[in-house]
Structure 1
Amino acid sequence: MTSTVATPHPRGLATLFFTEMWERFSYYGMRAILVLAMVAAVDAEHPGLGLSREMASAAYGLYTTAVYLASLPGGWIADRLIGMRNAVFVGGCIIATGHFTMAFPSTPTFFIGLTLIALGTGLLKPNISAMVGELYPEGGARRDAGFSIFYMGINVGAFAGKLLCGYLGEHYGWHIGFGAAGIFMIAGLVQYRLNSRHLGTIGLLPASTGDAQRDAHARRRGAFAVAAAIALIALVMIAALGGYLPIDPIRVSKQTAVVIVATAALYFGYVLIFGGLDRSERQRVGVIVVLFIGAAVFFSGFEQAGSSLNLFALDHTDRDIGGWQLPASWLQAVNPLFIIILSPFFAALWVNLARRNLTPSVPLKFALGLIQMSLGFLVMFFAARLAASGDKVAPAWLMLTYLFHTTGELCLSPVGLAAVTKLAPRRYVGQMMGTWFMAASLGHIIAGLLAGHLASTDDIAGLPDRYWLVFVTTSGAGLLMLLIARPLQRLMGNIQ
């Protein structure tokens, strides 16, 4: 009789787990107070930028969008120029520099720091996830379990970052909170360097064609392109901060949304018409288009947490606990806490349904995610009615909203990218993965524009109607996805 022992996870997983945990600590810790710092008056106890809520929300949406879009060149730089290992370290250094730049209380350093964090995150985020996959060349359930552990690190970091940076920012000054985010990013980089030996040779070198001369030539061209892009970004920043290039975040957000939609439409149209696809492949790409739209709608609502819902917590939520004021940013920590608590239950649910051959299809999971997210805005409709009457509402309203948003996220987000990789024609997999990031980017841009209306203080009486409109729109998208889930599944064939 033989006994089997579960194969342990690679030691490199711990290295990447803690690197990502501290990076997410810094990223979400800073995001928790970002809009609050932008709308705070310049003569307040903790001086802010004094931006209007519409401007601040649009700037927030642009920033989060830039993070997603930067992931595309970030992966390319690692593949072609410096390797994933170096990309993660360099990206982390840029992120830490950005946080420390924001720790200086001035408008120029604020926006320079934001730019650096977006660029650094785009370099680090896709490559550290790719290295987790490289730890499990055999694939299978063990690889899935490794990603589940890694995903838990993301949420532990997000939860702790929102609590600590939120508290420091709201009680001691926004620049203190931003500086704390940088300190913990440094902690993540130190442990990454000290424990990188556990990664073996993973990510050490960029991809190679096998032709040294051709590779060297390609790297020289790539390095020149990166240098030119950095110079262009620097020039734009100098011109904007010097007043030579006025930038209206709201107008730029609208233009960016148009560009993303046009780019996606042209790309999908080209692939469908000129991509040399057979009938089955065209059908599956059509499903990806529908999922693209669904993901954009979902993230446009889900990403209200850091903007309009954060400002609702600031303005309309009773945060007094025995004479102590609960930081408004702390309520955002509910989402990662719920994910930590609920993820094992959802994982068990999908496994049990699979055993009974009742696994929901990808379109059905998208529909469930959209509907649950919309229910969060139905909760906010009732909360806004109380706020419009002049009363401050209990934190439980926002917590219930975040609960619906979290369960919606657990239905939709984990399956989205995996579904795209399965549905995409083999020769277009990498490009189709990019469309998922574009969908998230579009959702973030729309979220920023939408938040400006939801967080406006000009018409408090109209706030319930605005939340009701969001509920009707997002629930309508969810119900439509529910109605077409079965036809979409037929187009997907045997892909689950």
Structure 2
Amino acid sequence: MLTYRFIARKNLTRYAQAKGVDAEWEQSNDRYKNIGRWVGGFVALLVAAVLLISTGMVSFNPEMVAEYMTYIIAAVVILYFAIMFISPRLDKTDKLRLLICFILIIGSTLFWSSFEQQPTSFNLFADRYTDLNVMGFEIPSIWFQSLNPLFILILAPIVSIIWVKLGNRGLEPSSMAKFALGMLLAAAGFALMIFASKSILAPGAGLASPLWLVGSLLLLTLGELALSPVGLSSMTKLAPKGMQGQMMGLFFASIAMGNLVAAFFGGHVSADKIEGLPTLFTTMTIFLVVSAVILLVLAKPINNMLQKSEHADEVSQ
């Protein structure tokens, strides 16, 4: 925002003057005249909350905050969708598109709630239960957190080329199919961690091989590459006209909600309760597989309904 305010805005103004077009961003807008009060009020509440917590006047429970924030965001998203759905300016095709967006946002929430276990349960497993000695070199456990961005840099160009080639042949999967694929890949990553965590619970077992984590993080990254880029593009393609920005905002809200759910589950993970890790990883695996199956079941009929609605609109015009 600072870059826009002090650099981009001046450049836009000069461009508008050179081309003889109206600089609409320079015009006052009554809708935003109270924005300063809202921002000031929010900052005041934030400062008050920090002071109350830091002085011990108010107790702070991160797990409780994560749980209630999840409920609040979920309620806001559902209510927002309901308001948009009953809008009189939406026809049947628009409402169908809105429904698909809602399903994809739910899928996004489910995926990120599992994917963001990396900083909690995965990090704990790497630090306490993984053999970090490789050929005499002690691997810092935090290095495993760098594998995801490293895999993205290596694999993103390859995945994009695959999608382009499939698209040229008319074989590119639908958005919902890509979402389902991302979830199945993530489920495979968690399935590896089930075996990894059980291997160290066996009588006389030692620390787990780091290859378990490497393989799991590789599958999770592939799942991210299948799902994440599709999310925003799907929101812009499927959202009814004039609602693209709102859909993108709701999609980011789904990521926030997924992180909060992940924090809630991760808050129950502790180093002295290793026996709970297989259960956590199994829960995540089942969670993802069931969600992927539901998306795959819904993918074809929803795509057919959308195509029929679009064809009917073209005929009526």
- From 264, 281, 296, give the equivalent of 1:482: 296
Q: Which amino acid aligns with 1:438?
A: A
Match in the other structure for 1:463: 277
Q: Counterparts in 2 of 1:323-342, with a 5 A limit? A: 323-342=136-155
Change (3 A) 1:275 1:413: farther
Cα distance in 2 for partners of 1:341, 1:393 equals 26
Change (3 A) 1:210 1:464: closer
Change (3 A) 1:464 1:437: same
Q: Which runs of 5+ in 1 are unaligned?
A: 1-77, 87-195
Q: Counterparts in 2 of 1:324-473, with a 5 A limit? A: 324-389=137-202, 390-453=205-268, 455-473=269-287
Cα distance in 2 for partners of 1:203, 1:300 equals 43
Larger RCO (CA under 8 A, 6+ residues apart)? 2
Cα distance in 1 for partners of 2:246, 2:25 equals 23
Q: Could you tell me whether the CA contact under 8 Å between 2:131 and 2:208 is conserved in 1? A: yes
Q: Could you tell me whether the CA contact under 8 Å between 2:128 and 2:271 is conserved in 1? A: no
Cα distance in 2 for partners of 1:489, 1:204 equals 46
Cα distance in 1 for partners of 2:178, 2:297 equals 12
Q: Which amino acid aligns with 1:482?
A: L
- From 194, 201, 209, give the equivalent of 2:11: 201
Q: Could you tell me whether the CA contact under 8 Å between 1:84 and 1:204 is conserved in 2? A: no
Q: TM-score, normalised by structure 2?
A: 0.87
Change (3 A) 1:393 1:211: closer
Q: Could you tell me whether the CA contact under 8 Å between 1:366 and 1:478 is conserved in 2? A: yes
Change (3 A) 1:317 1:366: same
Cα distance in 2 for partners of 1:385, 1:204 equals 64
1:261 aligns with 2:71: no
Q: Which amino acid aligns with 1:477?
A: S
Cα distance in 2 for partners of 1:371, 1:203 equals 49
Q: Could you tell me whether the CA contact under 8 Å between 1:338 and 1:406 is conserved in 2? A: yes
Cα distance in 1 for partners of 2:39, 2:201 equals 50
- Secondary structure, in 3 states, of the residue corresponding to 1:307? helix
Change (3 A) 1:202 1:278: same
Cα distance in 2 for partners of 1:200, 1:400 equals 49
Q: Which amino acid aligns with 2:223?
A: G
Change (3 A) 1:224 1:325: same
| Structure 1 runs of 4+ with >6 Å offset | none
Q: CA deviation at 1:443?
A: 0.5
Q: CA deviation at 1:323?
A: 4.2
Q: Could you tell me whether the CA contact under 8 Å between 2:130 and 2:208 is conserved in 1? A: yes
Q: Could you tell me whether the CA contact under 8 Å between 1:369 and 1:407 is conserved in 2? A: yes
- Structure with the greater alpha carbon radius of gyration: 2
- Secondary structure, in 3 states, of the residue corresponding to 1:493? helix
Q: CA deviation at 1:227?
A: 2.1
Q: CA deviation at 1:370?
A: 0.5
Q: How many pairs are equivalent?
A: 301
Change (3 A) 1:258 1:275: farther
Q: CA deviation at 1:457?
A: 3.4
Q: Which amino acid aligns with 1:432?
A: M
Q: Counterparts in 2 of 1:118-133, with a 5 A limit? A: none
Change (3 A) 1:203 1:228: farther
Cα distance in 1 for partners of 2:259, 2:25 equals 40
- % identity of equivalent residues: 33
Cα distance in 2 for partners of 1:386, 1:204 equals 65
CA root-mean-square deviation: 2.6
Q: Which runs of 5+ in 2 are unaligned?
A: 16-21, 311-317
Q: Counterparts in 2 of 1:153-164, with a 5 A limit? A: none
Q: CA deviation at 1:209?
A: 4.2
Cα distance in 1 for partners of 2:131, 2:281 equals 20
Change (3 A) 1:333 1:229: same
Change (3 A) 1:219 1:271: closer
Q: CA deviation at 1:441?
A: 0.8
Q: Counterparts in 2 of 1:131-210, with a 5 A limit? A: 201=11, 209=24
